[in-house]
Structure 1
């Protein structure tokens, strides 16, 4: 952060020196040419100081502009990546819905058979019993022996 000092500019009046006690009682006045010379010197120093401050601020502004441009590029890249990810998510959701459609059909089949005797064939064998519960990806069967069997829809090969 650049600290800026502000000076108040006063009008220049003729500067009076204290009266010389030895030779006279009238105060000595500073000649106008000397006052102008001092004023020019003051203006030059102030101009140089302001010029240095302007250069420093110019460098800071240049740096900030470059940083802003870099950040804008990153934001653009992130937005572009986000768009690609949204498309991929939509595609995955479509595939998921396609894969889940058969499960919903199987689920509704078992929901319609709630409380009835059903025989289900799986890769591990045949299970017969009463449908007592249905989930989004499984069916629960109560066998005549009293055993409860949970069968994932993915393992079912046929339903009788």
Structure 2
């Protein structure tokens, strides 16, 4: 009887551990997305706007100009005054 109870408890613990592991993995993916590189949807959006004028709202303010390059985790924008702004994607708030 004790043996069956222990086996049942172990099965429940394994199930809970499996659920917790899946939850931890999902949370880790969310953290990686926020800390790591940009999502593929952001890259796809930016690729479609290459060589066009846009405004990027960042944590440091707005940048307006022509999108001239897309790196792994940054973009380059040629501003109307001729300067080149290099903006880390982690600082993006919006793109228009």
For normalisation by structure 1, the TM-score amounts to 0.38
Where 1:151 maps in the other structure, the secondary structure is strand
Aligned residue pairs, count: 70
Distance 1:122 1:106 in 2: 14
Please state which structure has a larger fraction of its residues in strand.
Answer: 2
Alignment of 1:1-160 (within 5 A): 91=25, 95=29, 99=33, 102-160=38-96
Give me the whole-angstrom Cα distance separating, in 2, the residues matched to 1:103 and 1:109: 10
Structure 2: 5+ residue stretches without partners: 1-24
Instruction: Describe the superposition over 1:38-88 as per-residue Cα deviations: whole angstroms up to 9, x where unpaired.
Output: xxxxxxxxxxxxxxxxxxxxxxxxxxxxxxxxxxxxxxxxxxxxxxxxxxx
Pick the structure with greater CA Rg.
Answer: 1
Shift of 1:139: 0.9
Cα deviation, residue 101, structure 1: 7.7
Q: Gapped runs of 5+ residues in structure 1?
A: 1-90
1:78-124 deviations in whole A, cap 9, x for unaligned?
Answer: xxxxxxxxxxxxx5xx6279615853221221111011000011111
* RMSD between superposed Cα atoms in Å: 2.7
Tell me how far apart the structure 2 counterparts of residues 125 and 101 of structure 1 sit (CA, whole Å): 21
Distance 1:103 1:113 in 2: 16
C-alpha distance in structure 2 between counterparts of 1:119 and 1:106, whole Å: 14
Length-normalised TM-score, structure 2: 0.61
